[in-house]
Amino acid sequence: MTHFAYRDNILCADHVPLTDIARQYGTPLYVYSKTALTENYLAYADALKKYQHPETPGLVCFSVKSNSNLAVLKILGDLGSGFDIVSGGELSRVIAAGCDPRKAIFSGVGKTKEEIRFALENDILCFNIESPAELNRINEIAGEMGTTAPISFRVNPDVDAKTHPYISTGLKENKFGVAFDEAFDCYKTAAAMPNIRITGIDCHIGSQLLDDGPLLEAFDRLVILVDRLSEAGIELHHIDIGGGIGIAYHEEKPVAVPDYLARLYTRINAWRNKQYGGKPIQLMLEPGRSISGNAGVLLTEVQYLKTNTDKNYAIVDAAMNDLMRPALYDAWHTVLPVHKREMAAATYDIVGPICESGDWLAKQRDLAVTSGDLLAIMSAGAYGMVMASNYNTRGKAAEVIVDHEQVHLVRRRESAEDLFAFEKVLP
């Protein structure tokens, strides 16, 4: 179900017209639906409850890098979500939102000494280790602190996710994880370390996967390693299969989350019954985009309509600094007029005011619009605001969350003074 739909020719978030929201909070503006966030999270959590073993409840760890707004994290934390973090800053956000750091798993290839200490001080659930050098550092720091560090290795299964190369993470040429052929020795080394506690295994092959085939293939590769480790006396308590299913930006047809998890648990149960007499193992997932992506839109106002030779431009007040995905990935976002008008449509490139030719949000879109109209850039709830910058000294957009008929400001718009508050001129 979409929570952004037309009512009397006005696009609404739940039951609230986006025209009213823009009038109160201005543009550019990120608008999220609490109901959509909730339903998207529960698609995973409810499926896990259906298939999981009661002794080893599964855990959905929302990928904070997809949308790190404190209010978003709080909504998901209250539903029971864990969190996949990739920096100390993201852990700080989880804590500031009032969520449980003991349900956080820490991924990322470049964890600093300060970040590792901070994570250990807050008793995180697990480090997903991505190199032998990182293992040594974590063991050393845990020893200095008089504690043990819970770890898994992020194993690179060399499976092609068949997604954009910038968000493919499971091939052997990617920077992420330890090589599959080296992982067994890494676990043996870790098992001998005094300040390391092995808890599981992790992989993440990429983002925006529409077909679960590569995910299931990666799982099949992982269990080969888990069995070998078990034979060597190293028992794992969880298996983290990484990111979730992709979303529909345009005409994509992603596999349904419950169907994917049903197939995954069929594999898990067959494997555990054959090899371990039915002994269960905990499943973890790290979805981000499929929870937040279609739960948010970016509102922008048309400033000017312009024609150069045979091309039409709709120049809007949002720009590549607000939504980087089109310029970075050549990504498609559906664009809808907030007010459906009875007038002839024309074909426009939708561009922003930044002084870059790459500053565009959409190309060749048929729209019936005029100056002053509002446009909604759809599917902007993931990798939108989190990737925003202040290029051209532009303040970042405000963010609001719609909860049925209520609208809550969850991040105010930045002012120019905010942007240079930490700067000083020379004496």
- 325 known member of a binding site: yes
- Who contacts 369 (Cβ-Cβ below 8 Å, separation ≥6)? 302, 305, 314, 337, 341, 348, 375
From the list 359, 333, 346, 299, the residue with the least C-alpha distance to 11 is 299
User: Which residues of the chain are in CATH 2.40.37.10 domains?
Assistant: 4-33+293-419
pLDDT confidence of residue 335:
98
Could you give the residue numbers annotated as active site? 355
- 365 known member of a binding site: no
pLDDT confidence of residue 2:
78
pTM here is 0.94
- Provide the residue-wise pLDDT of the chain in tens; the chain has 427 residues: 579 999 999 999 999 999 999 999 999 999 999 999 999 999 999 999 999 999 999 999 999 999 999 999 999 999 999 999 999 999 999 999 999 999 999 999 999 999 999 999 999 999 999 999 999 999 999 999 999 999 999 998 877 655 444 444 444 556 678 999 999 999 999 999 999 999 999 999 887 888 888 899 999 999 999 999 999 999 999 999 998 899 999 988 999 999 999 999 999 999 999 999 999 999 999 999 999 999 999 999 999 999 998 899 999 999 999 999 999 999 999 999 999 998 999 999 999 999 999 999 999 999 999 999 999 999 999 999 999 999 999 999 999 999 999 999 999 999 999 999 999 999 9
- 288 known member of a binding site: yes
CA 200 to each of CA 112, 140, 187: distance values in angstroms, whole numbers, following the listed order: 22, 20, 10
pLDDT confidence of residue 164:
41
CB 90 within 8 A of CB 106: no
Topology of domain 34-289, CATH? TIM Barrel (3.20.20)
Residue 175 has a CB neighbour count (10 Å cut-off) of 10
Up-side HSE of residue 140: CA atoms within 13 Å toward CB? 9
Residue 202 pairs with which residues in a beta bridge?
Answer: 154, 240
- Do strands 311-316 and 296-308 pair parallel, antiparallel, or not at all (unpaired)? antiparallel
- 289 known member of a binding site: yes
- CA 265 to CA 51: how far, in whole Å? 7
- 30 known member of a binding site: no
pLDDT confidence of residue 305:
97
- 41 known member of a binding site: no
**What CATH number labels 4-33+293-419?**
2.40.37.10
User: Which residues of the chain are in CATH 3.20.20.10 domains?
Assistant: 34-289
**N-terminal to C-terminal alpha carbon distance within the chain:** 59
- 235 known member of a binding site: no
CB 332 within 8 A of CB 249: yes
CB-count burial class (<10 Å; 0-12, 13-18, 19+) for 6 = middle
pLDDT confidence of residue 170:
41
Residue 29 pairs with which residues in a beta bridge?
Answer: 299, 398
